[in-house]
Chains A and B, each alone.
Chain A
């Protein structure tokens, strides 16, 4: 009988540990890897191993009609060597396009000198979203495959500051490393 009482005490003890010891898994933790952004690094075209910052970069997201949606916050960095671009997606396994306007020397538009001006280049990102289950709290995330049809292309105009692009990764599934390089 004494052994039995001990058993009950143990069971109650285990229960208490279970109830109060469990972490909350109904809230998606901030450090969980969910839908990633596209990571682009800027390199020097004259010296392709060196990072080169883009002076006074402004990044503007565009909709399907190439109308500006919003200006992307670069988290206080005026001359970035790396940008992280959110991607649009509607349906899994469908080729999707996101367009961004990258404006170099954006401060020169506003000043009085007509000789100097900013230079805007349009880039077009093509990829295929794929939805992947993460957890009870976070639900699903999207990753993006470049595949055969995917790429980051600079649209040619009279005056391009972006010289070329280079693909580093086939899949956008994290934000740890650059997926693409832009040479300028």
Chain B
């Protein structure tokens, strides 16, 4: 009795396993290759950083403006760059410093996203080299003294000292997306990891904020930035995008 059940089970399993093979062998229609052609706009995409604009209104310690652009010159590769100015005040219990200056960044974006049909969205990584010239103003400082309470003196000094002619150069790695919201109008988000290559520091002080690079860290030459862009593609020429489609013969 037991033996009979086992055999039945084995056979049914085998049939189950063979079923897909049989159905597959039935599907013997021949296919041919066909090519569809879509027109894609190539050109200059120009825009601005809306994140910096919004922050300029919301944050009294910050003023920033950036225009950015890219130019597509092959299927995946874009020449890209940014130009901007920033003013940022860093105020802690012991320091009040304003950095102000302008910067530019230039490099490439590589689009890794395979678009459907005629879409032109991007999921990209990029590389930039950035440079900034700026100044820092030491508005105010309070001398750090753990024994200050003993004589109860006020050690706040307002030197209003400006350190001019500072500069910095850095390299950036970018990850981001750009999506076409309306025809030729793109919105994008990106994140930048920066590595400082060189900087001019004031004598007896340091760069707390570098326009374009953002705040510095004591631990090293690394910086982080975020961008929220809105840009418009100015079509210059159209290029064919061929898509190979497999179709069934009737």
A residues at B contact (CB < 8 Å): 1, 4, 7-8, 11-12, 14-15, 18-19, 22-23, 25-26, 28, 34-35, 37, 61, 63, 69-70, 72, 86, 88-92, 98, 131-142
Contacts and interface: CB of A to CB of B under 8 A. Distances in A.
A145 B92 CA distance: 28
A15 B193 contact: yes
Interface stretch (B36-44, B216-224, B236-244): B216-224
Given A22-B217, A22-B219, A7 B125 contact: yes
A8 B125 CA distance: 8
B173 interface: yes
Nearest to B191: A15
Contacts of B197: none
B150 A136 contact: no
A88 B151 contact: yes
Interface in B94-112: 94-95, 110, 112
Given A11-B175, A133-B204, 12 more contacts: A4-B125, A8-B112, A11-B193, A25-B219, A26-B92, A28-B144, A86-B150, A89-B143, A136-B206, A138-B94, A140-B95, A141-B145
A7 B77 CA distance: 16
Contact of A86 (B110, B151, B205, B206): B151
B143 to A, nearest CB: 5
A135 B218 contact: yes
B28 interface: no
Interface in B193-234: 193, 204-206, 208, 216-219, 222, 224
Contacts of B217: 22, 25
A35 B191 contact: no
Contact of B144 (A61, A69, A141): A141
A136 B146 contact: no
Contact of A139 (B94, B147, B175): B94
A60 to B, nearest CB: 11
B26 interface: no
B153 A140 contact: no
Pairs of residues from A and B, 7 with the lowest C-beta to C-beta distance, nearest first:
A139-B94, A86-B147, A35-B145, A25-B218, A86-B150, A139-B95, A34-B144
Contacts of A138: 94, 144
Interface of B: 90, 92-95, 110, 112, 125, 141-148, 150-153, 155, 157, 173, 175, 191, 193, 204-206, 208, 216-219, 222, 224
Contacts of A26: 92
Contacts of B153: 88-90
A152 B241 CA distance: 86
A86 B152 CA distance: 11
A11 B144 contact: no
Contact of B224 (A18, A63, A98): A18
Contacts of B125: 4, 7-8, 11
Given A18-B193, A18-B224, A35 B218 contact: no
Contacts of B224: 15, 18-19
Contacts of A72: 150
A25 B218 CA distance: 6
A11 B155 contact: no
Contact of A14 (B148, B193, B205): B193
A136 B218 contact: yes
Contacts of A89: 143, 153, 155
B140 to A, nearest CB: 10
A162 to B, nearest CB: 21
Contacts of B208: 136
Contacts of B157: 91-92, 131, 140
